[in-house]
A = this chain, B = another copy of it.
Amino acid sequence: MPSLHPAGGIVNHSNKTEFSLSDEQRIDWLCLIRSENVGPRTFRALMHRFGDARTALKVLPELARRGGAARFTRVHPRADAEREIAAAARLGIKYVAVGETDYPLRLQAIDDPPPLLAVRGKHERLAAPIVALVGSRNASAAGIKFASRMARALGEVGFVIVSGLARGIDAAAHRASVATGTVAVLAGGHDRIYPPEHDALLDDILAEGVAVSEMPLGWEPRAPDFPRRNRLISGLAAGVLIVEAAKRSGSLITARLALEQGREVFAVPGSPLDPRAEGTNGLLKQGATLVTDVTDIISVLEPILGRPIEPVLDEPPLVTTGESGPHGARERVISLLGPTPAGIDDLIRLSGLPPAFVRMTVLELEIAGRVGRRDGGLVALL
């Protein structure tokens, strides 16, 4: 049963899509997602509101002004987007859009999929059943050995391994699955590999596997890009195995994101006296599946892989009238917002204002950089 896709194309819910962007549309999309204050969630809200990226790009400065931005929002220059796509093409990188055939279905089902995913290497690996395998950079010899063993065994039964190309567990997982297919999710641009000494490992990965990024070419990864990237690692996978993790480590962020995304979380136990097991033991206490053998993972994932993947939930179409509310209405919405995330439905209820007006006001505040989107459709003042 085909239904209207936010971007105007046709999505067929049998998990095959006929939706495809034209070259022009792809540049529009890239301009929109690369524009100031536009993240994956705002991108989706804009597409819902304005139907296509080109229209959204046109109204961005006006939205920002109405949202109270001190200066005009920087709209990403079209020439830059064209240059990025051309440069990427020379590296064999393609930009795949949400809704297109090659876009990974599981990733599409998360709250905030990248509208465009820059994919390099063997695209078809992204359609296989994927397991994420992550852990400490500062891994123990036993952790490295166990990660390699799991990655090899999962590869042998047909799973593709996704990880973050980091030192330690990530690198071991990639190395052990080079032959069977592995996915490296980059925190920066495709031409800014971190850590730099993993350039050669990436070459090995690309022979039978794939690298993906949502960041622009030339983007040097900074600290906040790593947790942001982690949602793609879990989002691509049916389940996430955490091999070693200290308290408050990046791997635990991946585990939390996996839970939020409804992914299975697996953890490897370790001695209570080993600080590298504190995180994984903590996950086990919270209900993660204990893994000492590859069958522990396979027995949980096998039945899931048979099930169809949850389709993207299209939001109901917005009413396009009634955006100008009564006098003082915008202030009323703003006064209801704070640093604690609030639901848009609550804002509508508490303000007593027309839903379309409240949604539009929130969108304007976002574009103006005054409001941020959170998981579960919540928004908060920045």
Partner of A271, one of B269, B278, B290: B269
Shortest Cβ distance from residue A105 to the other chain B in the assembled complex, whole angstroms:
31
The CA of A88 and the CA of B188, in the complex, are separated in Å by 78
* In the assembled complex, A268 has its CB within 8 A of some CB on chain B: yes
Shortest Cβ distance from residue A5 to the other chain B in the assembled complex, whole angstroms:
43
- Residues of B near A103 (CB, < 8 A) are none
* In the assembled complex, A200 has its CB within 8 A of some CB on chain B: no
- Residues of B near A269 (CB, < 8 A) are 269-272, 277, 281, 284, 290
* In the assembled complex, A293 has its CB within 8 A of some CB on chain B: yes
CB <8 Å contact, B271 and A293? no
* In the assembled complex, A228 has its CB within 8 A of some CB on chain B: no
Shortest Cβ distance from residue A267 to the other chain B in the assembled complex, whole angstroms:
9
Shortest Cβ distance from residue A33 to the other chain B in the assembled complex, whole angstroms:
42
- Residues of B near A278 (CB, < 8 A) are 292
* In the assembled complex, A313 has its CB within 8 A of some CB on chain B: no
The CA of A291 and the CA of B282, in the complex, are separated in Å by 10
* In the assembled complex, A375 has its CB within 8 A of some CB on chain B: no
* In the assembled complex, A285 has its CB within 8 A of some CB on chain B: yes
The CA of A285 and the CA of B293, in the complex, are separated in Å by 11
- Residues of B near A277 (CB, < 8 A) are 269, 271
* In the assembled complex, A70 has its CB within 8 A of some CB on chain B: no
Partner of A291, one of B146, B272, B292: B272
- Residues of B near A273 (CB, < 8 A) are 142, 145-146
Partner of A272, one of B272, B274, B292: B292
The CA of A186 and the CA of B261, in the complex, are separated in Å by 53
* In the assembled complex, A296 has its CB within 8 A of some CB on chain B: yes
Residue of chain B at shortest CB distance from A291: B272
- Among A269, A284, A290, find the residue whose CB has the most chain B CB atoms closer than 10 A: A269
The CA of A269 and the CA of B145, in the complex, are separated in Å by 18
* CB contact under 8 A between A271 and B272, given known A281-B290, A290-B284: no
CB <8 Å contact, A292 and B296? no
The CA of A100 and the CA of B50, in the complex, are separated in Å by 83
The CA of A271 and the CA of B296, in the complex, are separated in Å by 15
Give the contacts of A64-103 with B (CB-CB under 8 A).
none
The CA of A146 and the CA of B281, in the complex, are separated in Å by 15
- Residues of B near A291 (CB, < 8 A) are 272
Residue of chain B at shortest CB distance from A143: B271
Shortest Cβ distance from residue A144 to the other chain B in the assembled complex, whole angstroms:
11
Residue of chain B at shortest CB distance from A280: B269
* CB contact under 8 A between A296 and B285, given known A146-B273, A271-B269: yes
The CA of A229 and the CA of B135, in the complex, are separated in Å by 43
26 chain-A/chain-B pairs, Cβ below 8 angstroms: A142-B273, A145-B273, A146-B271, A146-B272, A146-B273, A268-B271, A268-B272, A269-B269, A269-B270, A269-B271, A269-B272, A269-B277, A269-B284, A269-B290, A271-B271, A271-B277, A272-B291, A272-B292, A272-B293, A278-B292, A281-B292, A284-B284, A284-B290, A285-B290, A285-B292, A285-B296
Q: Which 5 pairs from chain A and chain B are nearest by CB?
A: A269-B269, A272-B292, A142-B273, A281-B292, A284-B290
